[in-house]
Chains A and B, each alone.
Chain A
Amino acid sequence: MTELEVKEKVKKIVEKNAVANMSEVREDSCIKDVHGIDSIKLVGLVGDIEEEFEIEVKSTELNRENFANVGIITDFVMKRLPQ
């Protein structure tokens, strides 16, 4: 899967979990402040990421730094996908 394909899928997942500005999800828009994804909703988003890309997010990786926006989430996923 190319980075572009991953990014597109991540964007769709963010749109699905967003509670604000759903149609305005960009690579660098903050999923918390712009799209209203609070800590509880973030858990749902992480579950969707795991299911979509068949990866496992460890508890130590479960933080806002790794799941801040579409671009950062894409980087996180790319590092965990089989080469």
Chain B
Amino acid sequence: MPATVSELTKERQLILLCSRGTLNEEHQTQIKELMSERLDWKEILYQGITHRTLNLMYYHIKNLELTDKVEEEVLKVMKTQSKVYAIRNKQYFEEIDNILSKLNEQGIRVAILKGNFLAAKVYPSIETRTFNDLDFLINIADGDKIVEILEQLGYVQGQYDDATGEIIPSSKKQKRIHQMATTELQEALKKTDNPFTPLLQVDLNFSVLWKGNCPCDINTAELLERVVEVDINGAKTYILDYEDFLIQLACHLYKEAALLNWISDLRDLKIYKFADIAMFVEKFSAQIKWDKLINFSKKTGSDRIVYYAFYYTNLMYGQAIPEDVMKALEPEDKEYLNEYGIENEKPAKWQFDFFTRLFETTRVLEVSEEALEKRNQFWQAKGN
């Protein structure tokens, strides 16, 4: 049972090293050493795809002039996927400009969350952070107006039918169930002629938290009051301030790591979510006011959640988060670091260590059907 990165297989060490945004000399030497040996590229390819770090790995391998060490057919996949995501992300950035200019005209302020900003400003190149939708944090009071603007731009609130390639508009009841059971409005979808981005999706989050035994309370209006203006490819947009951005990343990571809905679909533990935090901290170390982050997370009761995300980020990337910050956030009881199914009255405890959970898809076999009852009820109700 590996407890540290150095105990992992060569392939998994390489995956983690190449999920960093910047590589120091030591990292570069380690990558070169690992790649001088025979490697199981099928393992690397799968882990790179499932953890969404393949494009970043290709970026580093190319810069380190190590492409000749990669099996030719695997290299082709890396190259092709990187090109596709460069096109996809560029189209999404253009769409941000379209949507934000309409929202700005109406005086509606939304904050761009996670990957959309990180791909533009934090990751080393546009294609190295993949994402599948635009994520906005909105004030629920603006929800109807925002949906109206999106509809004017051709969006439909509904679900995509893979079999027919059509968007099925959601009924009023389905939209309400989505709103009541999650912290998002029903997603807005739009078809395009671009074969690499056939469907654009906008997620409208009205909270950075989740429903179902959420132990903290973060007021969205307060977050939106102190947003920071940023330019994304020429578009005037806003992001949460640096401390809030980090807290949101941590809450999102914890929610998906510990709620059954994500675990059962194997969307829970993904390296890119930890890499997001490590890279954001590295990039904005001069701007982040750690005291402010600690105080706000304690005030809102999110300190344990933030600690969870920081703890595992450090386990993967060394001391990404300063030691004194970890000390200030450290809870007395750390049992919850190995718990999941937090929406149920009694959370379950993982039988595997963190790295086994991270890399082995069989973790999902631990989850019982009984534990999934609430999640199944939601999808059943939405289908009606």
B230 within 8 A of A: no
Q: Is A83 an interface residue, CB under 8 A from the partner?
A: no
B141 and A40: CB pair below 8 A? no
Q: Are A39 and B144 in contact (CB under 8 A)?
A: no
Q: Is the CB of B180 within 8 A of A60?
A: no
Ordered by A's residue number, 16 sampled pairs between the chains whose C-beta atoms are within 8 Å are A38-B377, A39-B177, A39-B180, A39-B211, A40-B180, A40-B377, A43-B173, A43-B177, A43-B180, A59-B140, A59-B143, A59-B144, A59-B175, A59-B179, A60-B141, A62-B179
Q: Is A34 an interface residue (CB 8 A)?
A: no
Complex contact A60–B177 (CB within 8 A): no
* Tally of B interface residues using CB under 8 Å: 16
Can you name the residue of chain B whose Cβ is closest to the Cβ of A47?
B173
Known: A39-B211, A40-B378. A62 touches B144 (CB 8 A): no
Could you tell me the distance between the alpha carbons of A59 and B206 in the complex, rounded to whole angstroms? 12
Query: Is A46's beta carbon under 8 Å from chain B?
Result: yes
B283 to chain A, nearest CB (A): 36
* Chain A residues with CB under 8 A of B177: 39-40, 43
**Do residues A60 and B144 form an inter-chain contact, with CB atoms below 8 A?**
yes
For B185, what are the chain A residues with a Cβ–Cβ distance below 8 Å? 59
CB distance from B212 to the nearest CB of A (A): 9
> Considering only CB atoms, which chain B residue lies closest to A44 in the complex?
B173
Does B181 contact A39, Cβ atoms closer than 8 Å?
A: yes
| Interchain CA distance A72-B71 in the complex, whole Å | 66
**Interface residues, chain B, with chain A CB atoms under 8 Å away:** 140-141, 143-144, 173, 175-177, 179-181, 185, 211, 377-378, 381
A34 to chain B, nearest CB (A): 16
Question: With contacts A43-B381, A60-B141 known, what are 17 further pairs, Cβ within 8 A?
Answer: A38-B377, A39-B181, A39-B211, A40-B177, A40-B180, A40-B181, A40-B377, A42-B180, A43-B173, A43-B177, A59-B143, A59-B175, A59-B185, A60-B140, A60-B143, A60-B144, A62-B180
Q: Does A79 contact B (CB under 8 A)?
A: no
**B172: min CB distance to chain A, Å:** 8
**Secondary structure call for the B interface:** helix
How far does the alpha carbon of A40 sit from the alpha carbon of B381 in the complex, in Å? 7
Q: With a CB–CB cut-off of 8 A, which chain A residues contact B176?
A: 43, 46, 59, 62
One digit per residue, 1 when the CB lies within 8 angstroms of any chain B CB and 0 when it does not, for chain A 5-49 equals 000000000000000000000000000000000111011001100
Q: Which residues of B contact A38 (CB under 8 A)?
A: 377
Give the docked Cα–Cα distance between A43 and B143 (Å): 18
Kindly provide the distance from the CB of B255 to the nearest chain A CB, expressed in whole angstroms. 16
Kindly state the separation between the CA atoms of A51 and B173 in the bound complex, as whole angstroms. 13
Docked CA distance A42–B176 (Å): 9
List the A side residues contacting B175 at CB < 8 Å: 59
Contacts of A40 in B (CB 8 A): 177, 180-181, 377-378, 381
Tell me the complex Cα distance, A58–B140, Å. Answer: 11
Q: Which 7 A-B pairs have the closest CB atoms?
A: A39-B180, A40-B381, A43-B176, A39-B181, A43-B177, A60-B141, A59-B143
Interface centre among A38, A43, A47 (most CB of B within 10 A): A43
- From residue A68, how far is it (CB to closest CB) to chain B in Å? 14
Q: Which residues of B contact A62 (CB under 8 A)?
A: 176, 179-180
Bound Cα distance from A40 to B176, whole angstroms: 9
